[in-house]
Amino acid sequence: MNLKKVILIQELNLGHPLKSYLIIGFALYAELTNQHLKRRVEIMAVREIRTGIYSVGAIDWDRRLFDELIPLPDGTSYNSYLIKGSEKIALIDTVDPTKEYELIENLKKLNITDIDYVIANHAEQDHSGTIPKILDVYPLAKVVTNPKCKDMLKDLLLIPDDKFVTINDKDTITLGNKTLEFILAPWVHWPETMFTYLREDRILFTCDFLGSHLASSDLYGADEAKVYESAKRYYAEIMMPFRISIKKHLERIKDLDIEIVATSHGPLYQKPEFILNAYKDWISDDVKNEVIIPYISMHGSTRKMVEYFVDALIKRSITVKPFNLTRTDIGELAIALVDAATIVIASPTVLVGPHPTTVYATYLVNALRPKLKYASVIGSYGWGSRMLEHLKGMLTNLKIEFIEPVIVKGHPKEEDYRALDRLADDILQKHKEHGVISP
């Protein structure tokens, strides 16, 4: 224990032996935690991807929520890449500001004394937030990005104007024996997003695009099934609203010779077709023979309807995925939205409208803009309900056809179960007419 801690303990020791013990205990715990963190830093190894190209970012094993909204069951990483050319050195994206220590330490391990360019593919702070620190440590570095991203970085991080080099689509900069080409890709998340292509090594740095929230010590993600699941969750939660833009940008890069896709979250891909084919499937207009049912029930009436309806869909060979909104991970709901043809929202009535938790889920569905084709509503009410109008009015982003709902007074009765059978028949018929593919 160092002198500073001993003095602190003496200053806070008010004479009571138990209090003194607690303070000493806390100080020891803090010291142990600090050692633990230092060991973690050692784990954040610099990895050489190709000669002169290094992964220098940070893995965030413990993060469980992103944007105070998105669950991260598997943590995440903030990938940053250092490229040493024969004449100049570039850093591609940085890390979340909570991890700036790891990035700076990794650069020290490589004995980097100067950086010429910091390439900013995206302005969001989990990638750009350590740029100010890099500019402090490497004062000659310039931030290379497109005009839109420059404006955003000035607003978000207060980076001075004279620190920027502005590039446009297809522009290049040379590092000597290595060439960076910039491909503007607006709206694969934000309006300023872009990719950087390292020509000589055929590496495409895509930042958020094609990424996954997956903390892993494998640089390339050896467990393909896990990477697929994490990448699909990531697409569902972050990229799905930009499906149309993504189609356009995938088309633009289809002839690019890519050997490695290096994203800024999760493992890299040394088989680019793995993730590119997955995206082609997710963004396609095809929907599957699936119904998802986000539901909530207060006194059991809506639950009875959901249970009956799930059974009715199974009998008709339709894949059904119910999500109890009181306990579901919204990421799981988002994943299901990538493929499903139909959503049936199930809710009781609260003060003539839908239950507030249903409102939250419906708002999210609308914001994520899945390729759903059909929607309906089931649920119950005590004395009156305008639930259907509310929920319909919340799904205006979606090009969907509404199928006749089943909203019942109180506990469902025999005729209500028959109405649920009719709804299941209608969905089956619609799926057949649309030619949905089997999951």
**Binding ligand FEO by CB under 6 A: which of 63, 84, 99, 122?**
122
- Measured from the CB atom, the residue of 189 and 303 that comes closer to ligand FEO is 189
Q: Is 358 helix (H, G, I), strand (E, B) or coil?
A: helix
Nearer to ligand FEO, 178 or 265 (CB): 265
Any contact of residue 265 with ligand FEO (CB under 6 A)?
yes
Farthest-apart Cα atoms in the chain, separation: 81
Residue with tokens 């290096």: 262
Shortest spacing between CB 240 and ligand FEO, in angstroms:
14
Residue 211 CB, shortest distance to ligand FEO, in Å, is 7
Nearer to ligand FEO, 95 or 310 (CB): 95
Q: Which of 64, 78, 76 is nearest to 329 (CA)?
A: 64
Q: Return the number of the residue (72 or 330) whose C-beta is nearest ligand FEO.
A: 72
Nearest to 156 by CA among 183, 135, 129, 136: 129
The answer to whether 189 contacts ligand FEO (rule: CB under 6 A) is: yes
3-state secondary structure of 371: coil
Other Cβ atoms within 10 Å of 25 Cβ, number: 10
How near is the Cβ of 203 to ligand FEO at its closest, in Å?
19
* Binding region for ligand FEO (CB under 6 A) out of 27-35, 120-128, 354-362, 395-403: 120-128
Min dist. Cβ of residue 122 to ligand FEO (A): 6
Q: What token pair was written down for 181?
A: 């080409």
Bridge-based pairing state of the strands 142-145 and 401-402: unpaired
Distance CA 275, CA 268 (A): 10
Question: Which segment (123-131, 174-182, 276-284, 415-423) binds ligand FEO by CB under 6 A?
Answer: 123-131
Tokens 């000589």, residue located: 200
**Binding residues for ligand FEO, total number by CB under 6 A:** 7
- 365: its two tokens: 């569905």
Alpha carbons 158 and 41: distance in angstroms, whole number: 28
Cβ proximity to ligand FEO, 265 vs 303, nearer residue? 265
Residue 93 as a binder of ligand FEO (CB under 6 A): the answer is no
- Give, as ranges, the residues between 194 and 253 that touch ligand FEO (CB under 6 A): 208
**127 vs 24, 74, 92, 104, CA distance in Å?**
39, 19, 9, 14
Single residue of 60, 74, 126, 290 touching ligand FEO by CB under 6 A: 126
Residues that bind ligand FEO (CB under 6 A): 122, 124, 126-127, 189, 208, 265
